[in-house]
A = this chain, B = another copy of it.
C-alpha cells in the first residue's frame, strides 16, 4: 500500500533514528511493551535504538552498570524515552532481595546530561475537557535547592560556613569569606547547607521563553525572593534574557496584556493560589527546584492527575558535539518549509534568537549556545509504576491503564530524535508518524473508547485500548478512512459522558438534582440553574477580572 520513498526501509517502515529507550518496572513497563509492539514496531525500524533496563533487578545484577551505560548513551544520542522506575525503599531492598540499596536514577541522569530544567506541561486531548482549558507550561530548575543539601543534627554551639575561592584567585589565604556564622541555642538542631548553581539559569530562561512564546502563553517567574533574598539572581537573569531577546515578540503576540507589558514575577505562595484560580490555563511558570516540585504537582491535580502532565528533563551536551546537528537541523527545517536555506538566512523562528532575528544567523555563537541547550532531552511520564494495577494484572484481573503520559513521552522522544537527525526525509516521516499517533489516541478517547478513568466501566482495558489506538494509527498512516469513526453528532463529548455516566452514583445525582430543582417540578429552569451555578461557585461574574478586594493579600515577609 505504501510507496517506497526516502525515509522508509525496504519493508516500508520508517528508517531508524538513534534513540535511547529505558525500561522500568511493573504496570508501566508492561503497558509500554504493548505500545512498542502495537504502535511502534509495525511502522518504525527500531534497530538504531539503544535499550537499557533500569528495573531494580537489572540494576542490582549489573552493579548499576546499566544506569551508567544508559546515561552515557543518552549523552551521546540526545533523545531519550524513559519508563517509570522504582527507587527501592529500605523495605523493598529486602523484599526484592537486592544486594544493596539503589539510589534514584534521576540524580545520575541530571548530572550526566547536565540537566537545566525539568519541563512539566499539561497534556490536552482534542475534544475532551480536562482541568485547564489552555496549556500550562512549567520549568523546574533541574539543579540546586535542598535536594543537594548537606546536613547534620547538632546540639548547642556555633555554626560557621566559609567560602574558599579557587586557588587561581587565592592570595595568602586571605580571600576566605565567612558566608554565615550563627549561634545554635537549642539542645537539638539540624544544620542545612546547600548551593544554587546559577550558570545554567540563562539557558533555562531561553528554554522557558522560547517555549512559552511558541505556545502563545504568558510567562511568569516564580520565586520567594521577597524573603529569600538569594533568589534575586534567578529572577534577574530571567528578566535580562527576556528583555534582551523575547519581550518584543511577546508584546507583538499580545501575551503581556495581563502583566502590564512586562515580564511578571510571582511570589511562590501566591503561585499556589493562582494555579487554582487560573483554570483557563494559557500561562507558563519558571521556578526553583523545590518550588517547581510542589507547584507542578499542584498543576497536575488541578488538571486531573499526574497522568496528565509531562516530565521532560532538558540537558546540555558537555562536549559541544551537538552543534553541527543544530545547524543542519536548522537548515533542514528551513528546507522542509520550502524556505531558502542558505546559512545567512537560516534561523529558528522566534525561538531563542532575539527580537531582531534578521541580524542573527543561526550559527552565531549566541544562537548555537541557545540551540545547544535543547540538545539532550529525556522524556518520561510524570506518574509512577502504578503498582496497584500491576498487582491486579498479576492476579489475572482486567486492568485499564491510561497510557497518555507515557505515550506523550514516547512521542516527545521520537520528535526530538527527528529534530536531531541529519536525515531530513526520515525526520519528516517521523514527525508525520507522531502526528498520526497522537490523533489516533485522541480520537480513541474522544469517541468514548478510552480507558475506564475516561470512559467509565464500558471503556477499554489496557490491552484493548492499545490495540484500538494501534488499529486506528495504521489506518491513519495508510491514509485509509477510519472505519470506527463515529459520526460527528454522536462523537460529541456526550458519547463520552454517557459512557462515564455508568460509573456515576445515580442515587446521589438524583438527590443533587432534587436539591437544585427547588420547585420540585422535575426539571431545572433557568432560574434554578442560575442559583445552582452560584451555589457551585461556577457562575460567571459580571465583571471578569475584577478581584474581590477582601481577597487581596500582602506578603508580609512571612
Residues of B within 8 A of A540 (CB): 504-505, 508-509, 512
- Is A497 touching B534 in the complex (CB atoms < 8 A)? yes
Known: A155-B166, A197-B186. A230 touches B192 (CB 8 A): yes
Residues of B within 8 A of A399 (CB): 549
Residues of B within 8 A of A87 (CB): 556-557
A149 an interface residue at 8 Å Cβ cutoff?
yes
Residues of B within 8 A of A177 (CB): 152, 154
- Is B184 touching A195 in the complex (CB atoms < 8 A)? yes
* Number of chain A residues close to chain B: CB under 8 A: 141
Q: Which of B189, B199, B302, B548 contacts A195 (CB 8 A)?
A: B189
- Is B383 touching A558 in the complex (CB atoms < 8 A)? no
How many copies the complex holds: the figure is 2
- Is A530 touching B556 in the complex (CB atoms < 8 A)? no
Closest-CB distance, A303 to chain B (whole angstroms): 10
Q: Which of B103, B160, B276, B306 contacts A162 (CB 8 A)?
A: B160
- Is B199 touching A186 in the complex (CB atoms < 8 A)? yes
A554 an interface residue at 8 Å Cβ cutoff?
yes
A451 an interface residue at 8 Å Cβ cutoff?
yes
Cα distance, A530 to B456, chains bound together (Å): 14
- Is A497 touching B199 in the complex (CB atoms < 8 A)? no
- Is A189 touching B180 in the complex (CB atoms < 8 A)? no
A62 an interface residue at 8 Å Cβ cutoff?
no
> What 1/0 mask marks residues of chain A from 341 to 378 whose CB sits below 8 Å from any chain B CB?
00000000000000000000000000000000000000
- Is A503 touching B147 in the complex (CB atoms < 8 A)? no
- Is A160 touching B157 in the complex (CB atoms < 8 A)? no
Closest-CB distance, A387 to chain B (whole angstroms): 7
- Is B193 touching A548 in the complex (CB atoms < 8 A)? no
> What 1/0 mask marks residues of chain A from 126 to 161 whose CB sits below 8 Å from any chain B CB?
000100000000000000001101111111111111
> What 1/0 mask marks residues of chain A from 6 to 33 whose CB sits below 8 Å from any chain B CB?
0000000000000000000001000000
Additional pairs, 10, CB under 8 Å, beyond known A163-B184, A536-B536: A151-B180, A153-B233, A155-B169, A157-B166, A159-B193, A188-B233, A383-B550, A402-B550, A453-B551, A493-B535
Could you write out 13 A-B pairs with CB less than 8 Å apart? A107-B557, A159-B161, A185-B197, A272-B294, A273-B301, A306-B553, A387-B552, A388-B552, A389-B552, A453-B551, A497-B534, A504-B540, A509-B540
